[in-house]
Amino acid sequence: MMMVKLPGYEMLIHYLQQGLGEKQVFVPVSEEGKEGHVPLGSLNKVDLAQMTALTFQEKPLRNSIKSLFFPDTETYLTYRKEEGRMVMETPGEMMSQILVGAKACDLESLNLIDRVFLADPVDTLYAEKRAKTLILAAPCRQQGTYCRCESFGVDRINPAADVTMYQETADAAEPLYLKSLTPAGETFLEEMMKCGTEGEAVAVTEIPWQAVPPGEKPLSPQEVKDQMDTLFEHPLWEELAMRCLGCATCTYYCPTCHCYDIRDFSRQGQEAGERYRTWDSCMFTSFTNMAGGHNPRPHRKDRIQNRFFHKLNYFVKKQGPLACVGCGRCGDACPVGISMDTVLNRIGGDRHDA
């Protein structure tokens, strides 16, 4: 393990900017209320104060990090006709990535997606991005006001990353401490210091950072699953369907939702084109509507029920954990205020909501 103290966030950004030709670096940015990780190289100006604030805020960014590993649109095949034969080509190797300022909840969501995408047969598009991304995470000192990470067993203090970042306060002028957690993280810090980055190696004990211990007991996936089993025929789903607009915003913001569609794009009268995958949502009728007209989930009630059952019941049965990290984005973004809590409260016996 290696520990480094830099005079400020600026030194880290300065070092990352030097290596941009070889690596893609994603940093937290908020522009007109749109929060997410964007390529450092695409910024005209680095707003250090904002970047520091976003890195060390006690909640995740509005847009999750899943798009860095599972882009909303991704071409995996290009084709063209040559001398009557279809020639197919797959994309070349990707550039390595560095992700700065990930939160523990989002990293846990990647662990959940890993269970699906890295299972046999391995999703190579996702696996390559997982393997080639170095993650610098920032722990949360306490649980955010609208966060439920503790209920979902996320260790917000010890994110599963290559390097953890600490600052005493979220001020860009404060010293920035970096602690490696993996060999790749250690190599990163070593190289950063070798390049003459202003700063010094320090002992772990020097980090002026104290976290508030978790205050909530994690939900038992088995208990939630069992409770959901009793709710399958419940009128709750019909009630939620009356409110739900079917807009799928919840699934796009959800860091664990990983459903996708496969589509073709063609040029020149179908003689050349691309096949790509793109995020899809179980909230849409077209998700399950078959050619010929049969739809196993024709009603909004069926779809909303399936969505919550997938997160709180089916995933538990197949994989073990709940398919939710308690980030709160779905409820935050939902135009009609349906959240994970809406269902969890009902499981807990509440009758006022929905």
Partner 1 sequence: MTHNPLVPINGEVITILTESHDVKTFQVRPEVPMAHMPGQCAMLSLLGVGEALFSITSPPGRDYLEFSIKRVGKLTEALHQMEVGHQVGIRGPYGNHFPVEDLKGKRLLFIGGGIGLAPLRSLVQYTLDRREEYPDAFQLVYGSRSADDLLFRRDILNQWPEAPDFKVDLTVDVASSGWDGHVGFVPAYLEALAPSPENTIGITCGPPIMIKYVLQTLEKLGFKPNQIVTTLEYKMKCGVGKCGRCNLDEHYICKDGPVFYLSELEQIKCDFC
Closest separation between CB of residue 65 and partner 1, Å?
19
Among 31, 212, 246, 317, binds partner 1 (CB under 8 A): 317
Among 122, 173, 201, 212, binds partner 1 (CB under 8 A): 122
CA angle 317, 315, 335 (to 5 degrees): 145
Closest separation between CB of residue 232 and partner 1, Å?
6
Distance of CA 158 to the CA centre of its chain: 17
The 8-class DSSP code of residue 314 comes to I
Window 88 to 107, contacts with partner 1 (CB under 8 A)? 88, 90, 93
The site for partner 1, by CB under 8 A, has a size of: 51
What does 116-177 look like in DSSP terms, one character per residue?
Answer: HHTSSSP-HHHHHHHHTEEEEE---SS--TT--TTTTT--TTS-SSSEEEE-SSS-TTS-EE
In contact, 295 and 228? CB cutoff 8 Å? no
- 9 in contact with partner 1 (CB under 8 A): no
End-to-end alpha carbon distance in the chain: 49
- 311 in contact with partner 1 (CB under 8 A): no
Among 117, 166, 188, 253, binds partner 1 (CB under 8 A): 117
Window 202 to 241, contacts with partner 1 (CB under 8 A)? 232
**Cβ-based nearer residue to partner 1, 203 or 291:** 291
CA angle 247, 331, 304 (to 5 degrees): 50
Please state, in angstroms and rounded to a whole number, the distance separating the CA atoms of residues 125 and 39. Answer: 19
Among 49, 119, 184, 201, binds partner 1 (CB under 8 A): 119
Of 246, 278, 245, the C-alpha closest to 261 is 278
Each residue 28-67 as x (binds partner 1 by CB under 8 A) or -, in order, gives ----------------------------------------
Among 275, 331, 345, 353, binds partner 1 (CB under 8 A): 275
Among 297, 333, 345, 347, binds partner 1 (CB under 8 A): 297
Among 31, 34, 42, 76, binds partner 1 (CB under 8 A): 76
Distance of CA 288 to the CA centre of its chain: 25
Strands of the 163-166 sheet, one edge to the other:
34-39, 23-31, 96-102, 133-137, 163-166, 176-180, 3-6, 200-201
- 303 in contact with partner 1 (CB under 8 A): no
Of 288, 225, 221, the C-alpha closest to 259 is 288
- 18 in contact with partner 1 (CB under 8 A): no
**Stretch of 36-44, 45-53, 86-94, 167-175 lying at the interface with partner 1 (CB under 8 A):** 86-94
Closest separation between CB of residue 325 and partner 1, Å?
18
- 111 in contact with partner 1 (CB under 8 A): no
CA angle 51, 53, 54 (to 5 degrees): 65
In contact, 175 and 5? CB cutoff 8 Å? yes
Closest separation between CB of residue 162 and partner 1, Å?
20
CB-neighbour burial class of residue 44 (10 A; exposed 0-12, middle 13-18, buried 19+):
exposed
- 123 in contact with partner 1 (CB under 8 A): yes
Residues making contact with partner 1 (CB under 8 A):
76-77, 79, 85-86, 88, 90, 93, 116-117, 119, 121-125, 127-128, 232, 258-264, 266, 270, 273, 275, 277, 280, 282, 287-292, 294, 296-297, 302, 306, 309-310, 313-315, 317-318
